[in-house]
Structure 1
Amino acid sequence: MRDLAKDYLERKVSRRSFINKATAAGFSLAAAQSTLKSLAPMVRAESTVMQTVSLRNGSSQTYSSHYETDTAVTVRKSLTGTGGELLAEQIRSAGARFIFICNSSGMGPLCDAVVDRPDIQFIQGVSENQAVAMADGYAKATGEVSFACFSRVGGPIASANMYNAMKDRTPIVVVTDHMDSQADGRDGHEDLDDWLDAFKQYTKWRWLVKEGNRIPEWVTHAYKVSSTAPGGPTFVRIPRNVLYQKHKAEIFARESMSVPMDITPNPKHVERAALMLIEAKSPILHVGHEVWTSGGRAQVVELAELLAMPVVQAWSWAADFPTDHPLYLGGYLDQAVRRRFQGQRE
């Protein structure tokens, strides 16, 4: 499959040929189609559309748009600006409408850049941990990746809610500034030898950006990792002087950071699971937050009612099953619930 995907990206095989060869190799049609869908954001057409826009400083920038041959469209824009402008444009391209921030002098270049981007709005908290908490709530409510930022020294206090986000698998991209490049590694004011290691256990991925022209690349990667199931927070640090300096970089489109997860299950496995439920003498349904995040609550209720199957709730931030439903027993770790269910089995 890897070789076949490579040939497809290099345009050596068509969509139809890809599906034919994949199924001939033993993959199901659903698997072949799902793989094609995941490759779609990486496919580029040969034609390029050029567009010139003017920035506040009067200079002009050229945007190159590459259109895919399939259904999706991916746009890559070449932009020259400060590191803060590259950061603002990349999160804007990722679909960010809100920046959750606190009193944050380290993110000054980003704040300056947002002046020219009125479609992005700041939501300000009084502490770094509150900024992450608000971003966490927004991501949970919308199902979208949220963006939080603050000065580097606020990392330790913010880490408490980054830990919570990791446990809840909430997709959040967290960005802070970092010690200036020329002073890094001297154990100076607001500096540590290794800022990333402290966040390793409660982030899916973390990175220290060294080159300004790669800010969009690493922020895009942070969005991709954070949004891919199971979700979770990612953490990016950018030296403050790099945020103020000017660079030229490509801005990546939202489509290029999306990994489709709608994989069709094997019908045989579904039939086997259904048979196990039907033949079970005393089945129980154990639900977790994946029910809510996948939008499957109504279907789970329907299944429980169809089989008159009691339901217990795993620890979850979401209401994965109606707590007032007659089939709802309570939390799985509740000793009273476990005794009740064991009594039913006996």
Structure 2
Amino acid sequence: MKASDLLVKCLESEGVEYIFGIPGEENADLMMSLSKSKIKFILTRHEQGAAFMADVYGRLTGRVGVCLATLGPGATNLVTGVANANMDRSRLLAITGQTDSHLLHKESHQNLNVVKMFEPITKWSWSIRNAKNIPEIVRRAFKIALTEKPGATHIELPQDIAKRKSDIPPIGFQNIFRPKANHDQIKKAATMILNAKKPLLFVGNGCAREDESAQIRKFVEQTKIFSINTFMGKGVIPDDCETHLQTIGIKDADHALKAVLEADVIISVGYDLVEYSPKMWNSDLNKQIIHIDFTPSEVYTFYRPDVEIDSDIGSAMDSILEEIEKLQLENPSLASFPRKNGPEIFKKIRAEVIERINTFNDDDSYPIKPEKLIFSVRESFDPDDVVISDVGTHKLWIAKIYQTFEPNTCIIPNGFASMGFALPGAISAKLVFPKKSIVAMTGDGGFLMNVQEIETAVRLKLPIIVIVWVDNDYNLISIKQKHEFGKSVFTEFGNPNFVQIAESFGAKGFQVKSTQDFSKVLKEAKLITDKPIIIAVDVDYSRNEVLLDDSFPPYVKSLNDKK
């Protein structure tokens, strides 16, 4: 079999549905092979967009998303999206073409060491030099991408190798099974929880990634232990759960952080340090920590688990719950679960969080306030519809305010946190969930970074809804400059006419004129079924002070009472 045909057969055996990318001269053989395959090739308008699409496919399906580019500038254009997937623990395979292998040791047209370039931003990067090794290399790339912690891999196919022959068949997909937790560690964890006065469950990205939500919800329901989540852990525990304190992760001021500072035992589940440094909540090294994750904990000065459970998360949570019940029967003097009354300070924090979320639900002033914008979006879409956030100030508002009830229905890139993510990500999400409404929320800065992918959505007739938060500023940088220096510099820019941009691509564009108008536009957008919709809305970011406001009277009062 021709090597390029064999590579495609190997991808088929791994269950690949889509490949996102742009062809080039040096991967022409592979493109011809793909043209005969059941795999759908999605032509994008920039390789970065292709990588973001593969990233979101990996997050939403649990399988490996695949993106493709040619050598040189095609490969370098993939880098940001691949790095984003790798640091956000999304399963991705990047495939790049390359010049003939006999030219790689010297200077030649568009040739650079792509494998070396991808090594720091992937779990594994390799160049195929022997056609007979293709089945092993492809299987290895997929296995490494899927193995915890998942991430990105890369393989390179030189054009002369693509033309060679091989008689080695594909190896095919193989399931990965994880061991159960160590019983001694389970017992230690259960005992620590029973002896705690203010235990707090800290839910991270690993829980949403592996869809361990059912077991974690069961644990919360049966113990009534209060909980928080990181940005990428949104939805694992529904935001309307009465013991859920919602999202942590804003460094300057965060009510969920106040709960962590009050807690005596942190049950850290699927927590990933790339999202939120433990130095923010354990700077005094006084927290008892139970680490529950698929992999051992990172070595970090401010994260020193007293108990470490490395196993399947859901299985571990079930085992701890069983052990708690067993220990309570053996020793009735231990604290009983479920607790009828949780810590008062946690209740006050939840009340304050809910109050802040709902403060501007009826506010009709324009430009629209972030809280009102997010409330209107939440009100307009179903609980299992998918919202994808870009990166900017709006990301902080979405993380804190957008009410999420299922995992992976609010996608926020928060490890590498690259701007330009939301629009291409929404395209991929719509391919995965064609019957769901897919909403991309992006700032005017991030939107224009991959605006060319509107054409991709138009060509595919995908009715994604893109909401552009307009303020003519790189606002997140601006507020941080003001917070530290008292002023902002070099962050303001001009904007095009967003309606005209949308219509020039063949999409539908709206310019919101009032807050009441925004809800009407959302209803109209939901009725469009054959093209993307771009909605530009002016945002009043004066409310950003709330993101940096650490005043919290109930909390301050509790500290004074202690003193």
TM-score > 0.5 by shorter chain:
yes
Equivalent-residue separation in structure 1 for 2:258 and 2:20 (angstroms): 45
Matched, 1:282 2:282: no
Q: Alpha carbons of 1:91 and 1:341: their partners in 2 closer, same or farther (altered >3 Å)? A: closer
8 Å Cα contact 2:13/2:172 also seen in 1: yes
1:121-270 matches, within 5 Å, as 121-153=40-72, 154-192=74-112, 194-255=113-174, 258-261=175-178, 263-270=179-186
Matched, 1:336 2:254: yes
8 Å Cα contact 1:106/1:150 also seen in 2: no
Equivalent-residue separation in structure 2 for 1:186 and 1:318 (angstroms): 49
Equivalent-residue separation in structure 2 for 1:96 and 1:318 (angstroms): 27
Equivalent-residue separation in structure 2 for 1:302 and 1:216 (angstroms): 41
Deviation of residue 161 (structure 1)? 0.9
8 Å Cα contact 1:288/1:314 also seen in 2: yes
Greater than 6 Å deviation, 4+ residue runs:
none
Match of 2:521 in 1: none
8 Å Cα contact 1:165/1:171 also seen in 2: yes
Match of 2:5 in 1: 85
Match of 1:16 in 2: none
8 Å Cα contact 2:69/2:95 also seen in 1: yes
Deviation of residue 341 (structure 1)? 5.0
More divergent stretch after superposition (333-342 vs 293-302): 333-342
Q: Percent identity?
A: 23
Q: Alpha carbons of 1:318 and 1:222: their partners in 2 closer, same or farther (altered >3 Å)? A: farther
1:294-333 matches, within 5 Å, as 294-316=210-232, 319-333=235-249
Equivalent-residue separation in structure 1 for 2:159 and 2:44 (angstroms): 21
Equivalent-residue separation in structure 2 for 1:85 and 1:147 (angstroms): 17
Q: Alpha carbons of 1:104 and 1:260: their partners in 2 closer, same or farther (altered >3 Å)? A: farther
8 Å Cα contact 1:143/1:293 also seen in 2: yes
8 Å Cα contact 1:150/1:176 also seen in 2: yes
Residue number among 198, 203, 207 corresponding to 1:291 in the alignment? 207
Unaligned runs of 5+ in 2: 263-344, 347-558
Matched, 1:110 2:30: yes
Equivalent-residue separation in structure 2 for 1:339 and 1:295 (angstroms): 27
Equivalent-residue separation in structure 1 for 2:20 and 2:48 (angstroms): 11
Equivalent-residue separation in structure 2 for 1:103 and 1:197 (angstroms): 22
Unaligned runs of 5+ in 1: 1-79
Q: Which amino acid aligns with 2:223?
A: L
SS at match of 2:218: helix
Deviation of residue 340 (structure 1)? 4.9
Match of 1:57 in 2: none
8 Å Cα contact 1:178/1:238 also seen in 2: yes
Deviation of residue 324 (structure 1)? 3.3
SS at match of 1:259: coil
8 Å Cα contact 1:175/1:237 also seen in 2: yes
- The TM-score, its normalising length taken from structure 2, stands at 0.44
RMSD over equivalenced CA pairs, Å: 2.1
8 Å Cα contact 2:145/2:153 also seen in 1: yes
Match of 2:489 in 1: none
SS at match of 1:326: coil
Deviation of residue 275 (structure 1)? 2.2
8 Å Cα contact 2:203/2:233 also seen in 1: no
Q: Which amino acid aligns with 2:205?
A: H
8 Å Cα contact 2:217/2:236 also seen in 1: no
Q: Which amino acid aligns with 2:69?
A: F
Higher relative contact order (CA 8 A, sep 6+): 1
More divergent stretch after superposition (311-320 vs 139-148): 311-320
SS at match of 2:192: helix
Deviation of residue 106 (structure 1)? 2.9
Q: Which amino acid aligns with 1:336?
A: D
Q: Which amino acid aligns with 1:259?
A: I
